[in-house]
Structure 1
Amino acid sequence: MSNMVVISTTAVPDHVRGAISRWLTEPAPGLYVGTVSAKVRDKLWEAVSASVGEGAAVCIHPAENEQRYVIKTAGERRRRVVDFDGLQLIEFRAENGNVPL
């Protein structure tokens, strides 16, 4: 069964953007949306997360959990996904990257 997937990228190499656009539509720069199988989604995310370089990427897709979706990230940015009693929440790190705000 196919499910919707959303991938957002920031400052990733052009070849990463090209690889994503083979499977998903890019309605805005760096934002990709589509419906693919779980196998394609996982393989695509594996390739993206291994190739982000200095950039970053976020993948959101449906899941059988309380929130009904999962957030996956690759690369370093101020926002970080943290687990809070089974819920995925976003934590903002300070400018120096050490202390949460």
Structure 2
Amino acid sequence: MMVIVVSRAPPRLRGRLAAWLLEIRAGVYVGDYSARTRERIWDQVLSGLDQGDAVMVWRTPSDQGFDFLTAGQNRRMPEDFDGLKLIRFLPRNGG
């Protein structure tokens, strides 16, 4: 299973994602595809994101049980900590 969440994404990208995945809430897409198809869908996200941001999560046979990728500007940035992916929060702009 994979989940993609987009914010401030252009309508064209949202339409592309809706062609492959089920949009269960605004900007939240769910599906179950092979690693190769998942990578192709993520390439579509990267090429069509413009000023938006996105995260993709999928299950893996790792200690955490999942992996994820992010794209675009977001305060939450992934960081590796001894083999575990954790989230580091960036400071707010102007604060």
Helix, strand or coil at the partner of 1:40: helix
Deviations 1:70-97 (A, max 9, x none): 1100101111011101111111100139
**Stretches (4+) displaced over 4 A:** none
Q: Which amino acid aligns with 1:50?
A: S
> Which of 37, 44, 64 is equivalent to 2:61?
64
* Aligned length in residues: 94
Q: CA deviation at 1:46?
A: 1.1
Q: Which amino acid aligns with 1:53?
A: D
> Which of 16, 24, 27 is equivalent to 1:27?
24
1:52 aligns with 49
Q: CA deviation at 1:38?
A: 1.4
Structure 1 stretches of 5 or more lacking a match? Answer: none
- Report the TM-score when normalising by structure 2: 0.93
Is 1:43 aligned with 2:53?
Answer: no
- Report the TM-score when normalising by structure 1: 0.87
What do you get for the CA RMSD once the two structures are aligned?
A: 1.3
Structure 2 stretches of 5 or more lacking a match? Answer: none
Deviations 1:30-51 (A, max 9, x none): 0001111211111000110222
